[in-house]
């Protein structure tokens, strides 16, 4: 009886930690797996696993996005196997199409059969089993035409894990086997977000908006970039974000010209412009919002000029968004606005990418937009020291980025609550923020 109660306790704990009961509709992930199976080649095999280190930036382990999308599970030690033609179960020889392998504390105990059977029923898999069955599963594989996986590269020879070793052996056993990224199966599903996914993205975007506002209030010359970064990430964690969507970017002065700067070492100077490209993740869904502010509360005339050009380009690109528009058209709109003022040579990147489970989410750049897609709008101008402009323009980097949902009849700006006009920014920067708290630690002075 004690063993049965202990088994039940472990099962409930596992399900609760995976957010299985209430995070998603009961059959959502089963439906997704069935759609993926339908898209696979006749003898196709999908094998997914997250590396032991996780793959996202931030505070801890993060499940690989395709594995999360198809299971809804955040636990370490999972392997997902989907077979179009079916595999022979190592337990009872029946044909199964979906297998979840779990590295479980009960893998080697007498209670494992009950444990895995309960999970199998709860999680709607054909088979749930322990890692000791992996060898038998791969030994039975013979006819496979395409292996969809994120675990090994097509010509990889060395292995660091048992699963890598098994897949390399499988490729050597089947010389004609084609290895393809799993996004070939999931891209068309993931690119259009459901209402539930949009709600999670909105939560991440709202938290990121609060972090921006707190950074506005905390900004002042004399602070280091890393102190503003600390304020931002404090807000992320305080409001329940589990991870960063990407490394936080706080670039002041000349660092505002570095598109992916994240060292945070500069002492912010009077007259600096600060690019803050930030985004948290909430239940695996990402936000990505950039705002640019002056260190000294008031924009200089030159800063204001460049800022308002970028803002005009941002709003022009947003206003054109609707089904049928392409990313290339967005870039052309931004270039037309900037060219009108003669600053086109200071454009350095495209103004958009898809957003979702990953900050640069799946989707083709030439694909016309459809309802349910979420994209960023992020024009930017970056002016280095050069003789073409007076020194007052030097080291002005400005990027303004919003997250936008494509709807049936146009678009919805999910980041609309994040202030971005000159007047809004200057008013908020007059307020006291977390960074204005004076800490009395003599040993740190």
Q: Are residues 126 and 234 in the same domain?
A: no
What pLDDT score does 10 carry? 40
**Quick one: which of 182, 185, 159 has its CA closest to 172?**
159
What pLDDT score does 119 carry? 86
**Quick one: which of 287, 291, 265 has its CA closest to 276?**
291
* Number of separate domains in the chain: 2
* CB-count exposure of residue 75 (10 Å: 0-12, 13-18, 19+): middle
Q: Are residues 142 and 61 in the same domain?
A: yes
**Quick one: which of 16, 14, 437, 9 has its CA closest to 231?**
437
DSSP code per residue over 303-349: HHHHHHHHHHHHHHHHHT-STT--HHHHHHHHHHHHHHTT-GGG--S
Dist. CA 180–CA 169, nearest whole Å = 17
The residue range of the domain holding 329 is 191-444
Pick the last residue of a domain from 136, 168, 188.
188
Dist. CA 128–CA 45, nearest whole Å = 17
> pLDDT tens digits for 302-324?
999 999 999 999 999 999 999 99
CATH of residue 60: 3.40.350.10
What pLDDT score does 360 carry? 97
**pLDDT in tens for each of the 445 residues of the chain?**
444 443 444 444 444 444 433 345 668 999 999 999 999 999 999 999 998 777 777 778 889 999 999 999 999 999 999 999 999 998 888 999 999 999 865 545 556 778 888 889 888 999 999 988 998 998 888 789 999 998 998 888 888 888 999 999 999 988 899 999 999 999 999 999 999 999 999 999 999 999 999 999 999 999 999 999 999 999 999 999 989 999 999 999 999 999 999 999 999 999 999 999 999 999 999 999 999 999 999 999 999 999 999 999 999 999 999 999 999 999 999 999 999 999 999 999 999 999 999 999 999 999 999 999 999 999 999 999 999 999 999 999 999 999 999 999 999 999 999 999 999 999 999 999 987 765 444 444 4
> pLDDT tens digits for 242-277?
899 999 999 999 999 999 999 999 999 999 999 999
What pLDDT score does 339 carry? 98
Give the pTM: 0.91
What pLDDT score does 93 carry? 83
What pLDDT score does 313 carry? 98
CATH of residue 343: 3.90.230.10
Dist. CA 270–CA 222, nearest whole Å = 8
What pLDDT score does 104 carry? 63
Contact 140, 87 (CB under 8 A): yes
* CB-count exposure of residue 440 (10 Å: 0-12, 13-18, 19+): exposed
Q: Are residues 301 and 178 in the same domain?
A: no
Q: Are residues 349 and 220 in the same domain?
A: yes
Q: Are residues 184 and 224 in the same domain?
A: no
Dist. CA 5–CA 104, nearest whole Å = 17
DSSP code per residue over 227-248: HHHHHHHHHHHHTT--EESS--
Contact 433, 216 (CB under 8 A): yes
Q: Are residues 203 and 155 in the same domain?
A: no
> What's the order of all strands across the beta sheet hosting 146-149?
127-130, 95-102, 78-88, 45-49, 146-149, 178-180
């Amino acid at each position: 009886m004690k063993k049965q109660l202990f088994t039940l306790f472990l099962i409930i704990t596992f399900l609760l930690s995976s957010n299985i009961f209430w995070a998603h509709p009961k059959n959502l992930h089963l439906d997704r797996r069935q759609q993926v199976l339908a898209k696979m080649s006749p003898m196709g095999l999908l094998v997914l696993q997250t590396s032991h280190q996780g793959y996202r930036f931030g505070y801890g382990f993060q499940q690989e996005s395709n594995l999360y999308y198809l299971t809804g599970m955040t636990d370490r030690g999972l392997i997902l196997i989907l077979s179009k033609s079916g595999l022979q179960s190592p337990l009872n020889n029946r044909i199964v199409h979906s297998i979840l392998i779990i590295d479980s504390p009960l893998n080697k105990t007498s209670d494992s059969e009950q444990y895995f059977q309960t999970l199998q029923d709860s999680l709607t898999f054909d088979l749930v089993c322990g890692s000791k069955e992996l060898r038998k599963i791969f030994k039975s594989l013979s006819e496979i035409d395409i292996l969809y996986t994120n675990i090994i590269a097509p010509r990889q020879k060395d292995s660091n894990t048992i699963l890598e070793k098994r897949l390399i052996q499988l490729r050597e056993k089947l010389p004609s086997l084609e290895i393809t990224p799993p996004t070939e199966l999931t891209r068309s599903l993931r690119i259009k977000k459901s209402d539930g996914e949009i709600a999670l993205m909105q939560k991440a975007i709202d938290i990121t908006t609060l972090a921006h506002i707190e950074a506005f209030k905390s900004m002042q010359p004399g602070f280091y970039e890393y102190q503003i970064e600390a304020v931002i990430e404090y807000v992320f964690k305080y409001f329940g974000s589990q991870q960063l969507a990407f490394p936080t970017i706080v670039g002041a002065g000349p660092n505002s010209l570095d598109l992916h700067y994240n060292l945070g070492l500069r002492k912010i100077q009077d007259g600096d412009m600060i690019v803050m490209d930030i985004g948290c993740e909430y239940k695996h869904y990402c936000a990505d919002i950039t705002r640019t502010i002056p260190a000294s509360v008031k924009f200089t005339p030159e800063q204001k000029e460049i800022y308002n050009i970028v803002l005009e380009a941002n709003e022009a690109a947003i206003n054109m968004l609707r089904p049928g528009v392409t990313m290339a058209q967005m870039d052309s709109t931004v270039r037309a606005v900037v060219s009108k003022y003669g600053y086109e040579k200071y454009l350095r990147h495209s103004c958009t990418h898809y957003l979702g489970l990953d900050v640069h989410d799946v989707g083709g750049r030439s694909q016309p937009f459809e309802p349910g897609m979420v994209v960023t709008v992020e024009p930017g101008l970056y002016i280095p020291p050069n003789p073409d402009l007076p020194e007052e323009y030097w080291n002005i980097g400005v990027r303004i980025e919003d997250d936008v949902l494509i709807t049936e009849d146009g678009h919805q700006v999910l980041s609309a609550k994040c202030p971005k006009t000159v007047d809004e920014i200057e008013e908020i920067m007059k307020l006291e923020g977390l960074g204005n708290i004076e800490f009395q630690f003599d040993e740190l002075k």
